[in-house]
Chains A and B, each alone.
Chain A
Amino acid sequence: MHRSGDDRTVDRTVDRTDDLTDDLTDGRTTVGTPALSCTGLTKSFGGRVALDKVSFAIAPGECYGLLGPNGAGKTTTISIACGLLRPDAGVVNVCGEPITDGRGSSMAARGNIGYVPQDVALYPELSAVENLKFFGRLYGLGGRHLAARVTDAVETVGLSDRANDKVGTYSGGMKRRANIAAALLHEPRVLILDEPTVGVDPQSRHAILEMVDRRRSEGLAVLYTTHYMEEAARVCQRIGIIDAGKLVVEDTPRGLTSRLGGSDRIRVTGEGDLVALASACADLPGVGASVVVDGGVALTADDGRQLIPLVVSVAAKAGVSLSSAEVIEPDLEDVFLALTGKELRD
Chain B
Amino acid sequence: MVAHELRRRVRDRSALVTGFVAPLILTGILGFAFAGGGAVHPVRIGMAVAAPKVTVHGETRAGSVNGTGLVGRTLISEVVAAGRVAAALPDWVSTTTVSNPGALRREVADGVLDGGVIVPDNLGLTSKPVPDRTSSTPFGSRTRQSVSTRVSTSPEALSRLLTPVVSPGTGNVGDGLTVIDNRTSLVGAQAASALASGIAARVYAGVLTDSSARSHSIGSAVAAAARPPDISVAIETIGNAGHNVLYYFAPSIAVIFLFITAGLGTRALVAERSEGTLARMAAAPVRASSIVMGRLVAILGIGLVSMVVVWGATSLFFHAAWGNWAGVLLMCVGSTVAIGGVSVFLASWARDERQAFGIAMIAGLALALLGGNLLPPGALPGFLSDLSLGTPNGWALVGFGRLALEGAGVAAILGPLAVLGMIGIVFGAAAASRLHRMVES
* Set of chain B residues within 8 Å of A104, measured between Cβ atoms: 287
The residue from B279, B285, B287 contacting A121, defined by CB atoms under 8 A apart: B279
Q: In whole Å, how far is A43's beta carbon from the nearest beta carbon of chain B?
A: 13
Q: In chain A, residues 79-136, which have Cβ atoms closer than 8 Å to a Cβ of chain B?
A: 79, 82-84, 104, 107-108, 110-111, 113, 115, 117-123, 135
The residue from A113, A120, A138 contacting B276, defined by CB atoms under 8 A apart: A120
The residue from B277, B280, B285, B440 contacting A107, defined by CB atoms under 8 A apart: B285
The residue from A113, A117, A122, A123 contacting B279, defined by CB atoms under 8 A apart: A117
- Given the known interface contacts A120-B276, A122-B277, the answer about A140 and B282 at a Cβ–Cβ threshold of 8 Å is no
Does B275 have its Cβ within 8 Å of any Cβ on chain A? yes
Q: In whole Å, how far is B342's beta carbon from the nearest beta carbon of chain A?
A: 27
Q: In chain A, residues 44-66, which have Cβ atoms closer than 8 Å to a Cβ of chain B?
A: none
Q: Are B280 and A139 in contact (CB under 8 A)?
A: no
Q: Are A110 and B277 in contact (CB under 8 A)?
A: no
Q: Which residue of B lies closest to A192 (CB)?
A: B283
Q: In whole Å, how far is A184's beta carbon from the nearest beta carbon of chain B?
A: 13
Q: Which residue of B lies closest to A79 (CB)?
A: B279
* Set of chain A residues within 8 Å of B280, measured between Cβ atoms: 115, 117, 121, 135, 182
Q: In chain B, residues 278-313, which have Cβ atoms closer than 8 Å to a Cβ of chain A?
A: 279-287
Q: Are B281 and A138 in contact (CB under 8 A)?
A: yes
Q: In whole Å, how far is A191's beta carbon from the nearest beta carbon of chain B?
A: 12
Q: In chain A, residues 5-27, which have Cβ atoms closer than 8 Å to a Cβ of chain B?
A: none
* Set of chain B residues within 8 Å of A135, measured between Cβ atoms: 280-281, 284
Bound-complex Cα distance A115 to B279 (A): 9
For chain B, the count of residues having a C-beta within 8 Å of the partner chain is: 13
Bound-complex Cα distance A182 to B277 (A): 11
Most B CB contacts (10 A, CB to CB) among A84, A111, A118, A135 go to A84
* Set of chain B residues within 8 Å of A83, measured between Cβ atoms: 283
Q: Are A111 and B277 in contact (CB under 8 A)?
A: no
* Set of chain A residues within 8 Å of B277, measured between Cβ atoms: 121-123
* Set of chain A residues within 8 Å of B285, measured between Cβ atoms: 107-108, 110-111, 138-140
Contact code string A133-153 (vs B, CB < 8 Å = 1, else 0): 001001110000000000000
Q: Are A84 and B276 in contact (CB under 8 A)?
A: no
Q: In whole Å, how far is B315's beta carbon from the nearest beta carbon of chain A?
A: 32
Q: Are B283 and A110 in contact (CB under 8 A)?
A: yes
Most B CB contacts (10 A, CB to CB) among A122, A138, A140 go to A138
Most A CB contacts (10 A, CB to CB) among B275, B276, B440 go to B276
Q: Which residue of B lies closest to A182 (CB)?
A: B280
Bound-complex Cα distance A211 to B283 (A): 22
* Set of chain B residues within 8 Å of A117, measured between Cβ atoms: 276, 279-280
Q: Which residue of B lies closest to A131 (CB)?
A: B277
* Set of chain A residues within 8 Å of B440, measured between Cβ atoms: 84
* Set of chain A residues within 8 Å of B284, measured between Cβ atoms: 110, 135, 138-139
* Set of chain B residues within 8 Å of A115, measured between Cβ atoms: 279-280, 283
Q: In whole Å, how far is A308's beta carbon from the nearest beta carbon of chain B?
A: 47
Most A CB contacts (10 A, CB to CB) among B275, B277, B284 go to B284
Most A CB contacts (10 A, CB to CB) among B281, B282, B440 go to B282
Bound-complex Cα distance A182 to B284 (A): 11
* Set of chain A residues within 8 Å of B287, measured between Cβ atoms: 104
Bound-complex Cα distance A318 to B414 (A): 107
Most A CB contacts (10 A, CB to CB) among B277, B281, B287 go to B277
* Set of chain B residues within 8 Å of A123, measured between Cβ atoms: 277
Q: In whole Å, how far is A263's beta carbon from the nearest beta carbon of chain B?
A: 43
Q: Are A82 and B275 in contact (CB under 8 A)?
A: no
Q: Which residue of A lies closest to B291 (CB)?
A: A138
The residue from B275, B281, B286 contacting A119, defined by CB atoms under 8 A apart: B275
* Set of chain A residues within 8 Å of B281, measured between Cβ atoms: 135, 138
* Set of chain B residues within 8 Å of A110, measured between Cβ atoms: 283-285
Bound-complex Cα distance A199 to B114 (A): 65
Bound-complex Cα distance A342 to B284 (A): 36
Bound-complex Cα distance A111 to B286 (A): 9
Bound-complex Cα distance A138 to B287 (A): 10
Bound-complex Cα distance A82 to B277 (A): 14
Q: Which residue of A lies closest to B284 (CB)?
A: A138
Bound-complex Cα distance A79 to B278 (A): 13
Q: Are B279 and A84 in contact (CB under 8 A)?
A: yes
Q: Which residue of B lies closest to A123 (CB)?
A: B277
Most A CB contacts (10 A, CB to CB) among B277, B283, B284, B286 go to B283
Bound-complex Cα distance A215 to B282 (A): 24
* Set of chain B residues within 8 Å of A113, measured between Cβ atoms: 283
* Set of chain B residues within 8 Å of A79, measured between Cβ atoms: 279
* Set of chain A residues within 8 Å of B282, measured between Cβ atoms: 84
Q: Are A121 and B286 in contact (CB under 8 A)?
A: no
User: Lowest 6 A-B CB distances belong to which pairs?
Assistant: A121-B276, A138-B284, A119-B276, A107-B285, A110-B285, A121-B280
Sample of 7 A–B contacts (CB below 8 Å): A82-B283, A84-B282, A113-B283, A120-B275, A121-B275, A135-B284, A140-B285
Other than the known A121-B277, A138-B285, what 6 A-B pairs have Cβ atoms closer than 8 Å? A104-B287, A110-B283, A115-B279, A115-B280, A122-B277, A123-B277
